[in-house]
Amino acid sequence: MAGIYIHIPFCKQACHYCDFHFSTQLKKKKPFLDALICEMELRRDALGGTAVETLYFGGGTPSLLESEEIAGLIEQAKATFTFIKDPEITLEVNPDDVTQKKARAWAEVGVNRLSMGVQSFFEEDLKFMNRAHNAEEAQKALEWSNAHFDNISVDLIYGYPLLTGEKWMKNLEIALSYKVPHISAYALTVEPKTALNTFIKKGKVAPPDEAQAAAHFRMLTDTMGNEGYVHYETSNFGKPGYFSRNNTAYWTGKPYLGLGPSAHSFFGDKRAWNVANNTKYIKSIQEGIVPVEYEELSKQDRYNEYIMTGLRTIWGVSPLEIEQRFGEPYKQYFLSKVAVYLNSGELMKKEEVVVATSSGKFLVDGIAADLFRVE
């Protein structure tokens, strides 16, 4: 099985923490959509006929598109690639774009999962992030979406200076009150080319406090566990039957094709990424050339990728699979390096698979990096 990711590179305004590729100018939307359809045709054989089980509209802000435009992209994708009978089709939406009419229209054109970028239900926090919506719009958006979708995911952010433990618990309580079956929660990270990074350098904003973020993470995992959600990936919590099939495919190493400017692809033994420039993307596609670069992955790259993705999930890392995929020396290397974390209790063996413990989950990226093979 495979996935398709479509990057919609437009936003109303720039969030202070965001380093994704986007433009606030919508004048190139029509030529972009034409180019996107052309790219599908140009990359018709990219997945080698592998059936597609997930179609994900990310960004940017895909909910800026008209429902007819989304319908056209879904129809073109299904006409170009081989899809399974009931694929997961996810649309990322911002609360300020959601109306009763739009939610109904998205469902009617084939979207069956919404991923809503709420981030916070507190007005001052949304202003701190420079989000386009307000707290009331976030709750109205969830109310309207619930009327047309049973598969909704809410994005939240923790670990930023304004967020007290009390406010964080309130954010979780409000999200849970709408009975959404999936929540994605991310610690605030400071990316180099963002407004947030500039504010911190100038002393206008305090940098994230790791101890605060760790405390928020513990509150998050305890609360979600008590509410019956499975912590299936470091940042993702789902009710049984509602894990994101898109996320799961990514973390378990399935191939995916990225379409649109800046979109990344993965084909097992190589990665690819499109140019992160709307004008160059459109011009190149109009000339019949996909503006894409490829990177061949060595055995070491693929091993490191497996360690990084595997440890973030409940499916963990299997020494037997390491041996089968990469050879005995890689298995022995892993076993020698992982011993210290098994002894410390940050990792554990569960049915011969190594997984993170509750105390190790917040530190798992650093642990994985230490287990990488570097030559």
Q: Evaluate if residue 41 carries a pLDDT over 90.
A: yes
Q: What is the mean pLDDT of residues 331-354?
A: 97
Q: State the Cα–Cα distance between residues 286 and 275, nearest whole angstrom.
A: 14
Q: Evaluate if residue 23 carries a pLDDT over 90.
A: no
Q: What is the mean pLDDT of residues 368-374?
A: 96
- Taking each helix axis as running N to C, give the angle between helix 299-311 and helix 328-344, from 0 to 180 degrees, rounded to the nearest 10: 30
CA dist 117 to 43, 61, 91, 331, Å? Answer: 30, 9, 11, 40
Q: Which architecture characterizes domain 2-251 according to CATH?
A: Alpha-Beta Barrel (3.20)
Q: Evaluate if residue 138 carries a pLDDT over 90.
A: yes
CATH code of the domain made up of 299-371: 1.10.10.920
What DSSP designation does 227 have? T
Q: What is the mean pLDDT of residues 18-24?
A: 83
Q: Evaluate if residue 20 carries a pLDDT over 90.
A: no
Burial 47-84 (b: 16+ CB within 10 A, else e): beebebbbbbbbbbbbbbbebebbbbbbebbeebbebe
CA angle 264, 40, 150 (to 5 degrees): 75
pLDDT tier, 25 (very low <50, low <70, confident <90, very high otherwise)? confident
pLDDT number for residue 21: 85
- CA neighbor of 261 nearest in space, from 277, 284, 237, 248: 277
pLDDT tier, 4 (very low <50, low <70, confident <90, very high otherwise)? very high
- Supply the DSSP string of 298-345, one letter for each residue: PHHHHHHHHHHHHHTBTT-B-HHHHHHHH-HHHHHHHHHHHHHHHHHT
pLDDT number for residue 26: 84
pLDDT number for residue 38: 98
| Beta strand extents in the chain (DSSP E only) | 2-8, 52-59, 83-93, 113-119, 152-158, 182-187, 230-233, 236-238, 256-259, 264-266, 270-274, 292-296, 347-350, 353-356
200, 190 Cβ separation under 8 angstroms = yes
- Tokens encoding 159: 């670990």
The single residue listed with the structure tokens 């919508």 is 26
The per-residue pLDDT for range 139-171, each reduced to its tens digit, is 999 999 999 999 999 999 999 999 999 999 999
Looking at the chain, the whole-number percentage of residues with pLDDT higher than 90 is: 93
- CA neighbor of 306 nearest in space, from 371, 243, 358: 371
Q: State the Cα–Cα distance between residues 5 and 16, nearest whole angstrom.
A: 24
Q: What is the mean pLDDT of residues 120-145?
A: 97
Q: Evaluate if residue 27 carries a pLDDT over 90.
A: no
The per-residue pLDDT for range 213-256, each reduced to its tens digit, is 999 999 999 999 999 999 999 999 999 999 999 999 999 999 99
- Tokens encoding 182: 């999936």
Average pLDDT, the chain: 96
Question: How many Cα atoms occupy the beta-carbon half-sphere of 330 within 13 Å?
Answer: 23
**Residue ranges per domain, the chain?**
2-251, 299-371
Q: Evaluate if residue 339 carries a pLDDT over 90.
A: yes
Q: What is the mean pLDDT of residues 187-214?
A: 92
pLDDT tier, 353 (very low <50, low <70, confident <90, very high otherwise)? very high
128, 168 Cβ separation under 8 angstroms = no
pLDDT tier, 24 (very low <50, low <70, confident <90, very high otherwise)? confident
The per-residue pLDDT for range 262-312, each reduced to its tens digit, is 999 999 999 999 999 999 999 999 999 999 999 999 999 999 999 999 999
Instruction: State which amino acid sits at residue 213.
Output: A
pLDDT number for residue 375: 80
What DSSP designation does 367 have? H
pLDDT number for residue 32: 97
